[in-house]
């Protein structure tokens, strides 16, 4: 016998289900008055530093249909490449930018929209710079555990070419699934759950 490590097991994930909006965006789904506003609905104010951008997209299932009951969250650095988080030890992020947003996909066309700023570059752990990117987390009915992925920028070809995460993708054409379409300040990032264009999702 040896000593026991004594670690606990992570609580198992379960699907967010069809009514995730009741819990996470109640004003959006017709339950007003419990909270003043839906958390994460607004990411920038008039003092936020940096280039304003709009990111729109859809989450598309294996039959090519956009999900109209999904919820998308994003997490990103501020314009100078700092995260607004206690674990950020390199400096103090822009106090007018939380870096986190939440948006349901529209019940009409399945589109999500984030008004945010373009993130700066942040370091990979070996000291190399990562290309500017936004972390995406997608939950919905039928998704048993939240899906992590990243959006990179189409007008950052040089930075993308040296990004350590993109470099890890063995099938090079699949790296394209993480690069948005469009140009400053309007980007489109469609997330494909299955099929030829399946987005690279991260176990991270």
Partner 1 sequence: MSDKQNHKPETGAFFQRDRDWHAPAFTPGYKTSVLRSPQKALLSLDNTISEITGPVFGHSMLGELDNDLIHNFAKPGESAIGERIIVHGRVLDERGRPVPGALLEFWQANAGGRYRHKKETYLAAIDPNFGGCGRTITDDDGYYFFRTIKPGAYPWPNGVNDWRPAHIHFSIFGHGFAQRLITQMYFEGDPMIWKCPIVNTIPDRRAIEQLIAPLDWSNTIPMDARAYKFDIVLRGRRSTFFENRPEGN
How far apart CA 101 and CA 37 sit, in angstroms, is: 13
Q: Rule CB under 8 A: is residue 124 a binding residue for partner 1?
A: yes
* Per-residue x/- track, 148-187, partner 1 (CB under 8 A): x-x--------------x--xx----x-------------
- Binding segment for partner 1 (CB under 8 A), chosen from 45-53, 110-118, 181-189, 194-202, is 194-202
Q: Rule CB under 8 A: is residue 125 a binding residue for partner 1?
A: yes
Q: Phi and psi for 39 in degrees, rounded to 5? A: -60, 135
Choose between 36 and 172: whose C-beta lies nearer to partner 1.
Answer: 36
Closest approach, Cβ 34 to partner 1, in A, equals 5
Q: Phi and psi for 100 in degrees, rounded to 5? A: -125, 140
Within 1-60, which residues bind partner 1 (CB under 8 A)? Answer: 6-24, 26, 29-31, 33-36, 39
How far apart CA 105 and CA 81 sit, in angstroms, is: 27
Listing DSSP states for 94-148 in one string gives: -TT---EEEEEPPTTT-EEEEEEE-----B-TTSPBPPPEEEEEEE-TT-SSPEE
Site size toward partner 1, by CB under 8 A: 81
Listing DSSP states for 40-85 in one string gives: TS----TT--S-EEEEEEEEE-TTSPBPSS-EEEEE---TTS--SS
What six digits make up the tokens of 22? 């009741």
Judged by CB under 8 A, the residue of 49, 111, 142, 155 near partner 1 is 142
CB atoms within 10 A of CB 29: 16
Q: Rule CB under 8 A: is residue 133 a binding residue for partner 1?
A: yes
Choose between 62 and 183: whose C-beta lies nearer to partner 1.
Answer: 62
Within 51-110, which residues bind partner 1 (CB under 8 A)? Answer: 61-63, 67, 69, 73, 75-77, 83-89, 98-100
Judged by CB under 8 A, the residue of 44, 79, 130, 179 near partner 1 is 130
């Amino acid at each position: 016998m040896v000593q026991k490590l004594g670690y606990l097991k992570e609580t198992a994930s379960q699907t967010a289900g069809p009514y995730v909006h009741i819990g996470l965006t109640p004003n959006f789904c017709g339950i007003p008055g419990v909270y003043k506003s839906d958390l994460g609905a607004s990411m920038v104010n008039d003092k936020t530093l940096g280039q304003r951008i709009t990111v729109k997209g859809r989450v598309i299932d294996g039959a090519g249909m956009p999900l109209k009951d999904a919820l998308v969250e994003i997490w990103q650095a501020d314009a100078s490449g700092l995260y607004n988080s206690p674990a950020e030890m390199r400096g103090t992020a822009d106090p007018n930018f939380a870096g986190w947003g939440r948006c349901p996909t529209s019940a009409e066309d399945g589109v999500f929209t984030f008004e945010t700023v373009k993130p700066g570059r942040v370091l990979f752990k070996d000291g190399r710079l990562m290309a500017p990117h936004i972390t995406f987390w997608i939950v919905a009915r039928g998704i048993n555990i939240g899906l992590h992925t990243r959006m990179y920028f189409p007008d950052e070809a040089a930075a993308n070419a040296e990004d350590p995460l993109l470099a890890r993708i063995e099938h090079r054409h699949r790296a394209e699934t993480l690069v948005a379409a469009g140009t400053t300040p309007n980007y489109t990032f469609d997330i494909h759950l299955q099929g030829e264009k399946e987005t690279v999702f991260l176990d991270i």
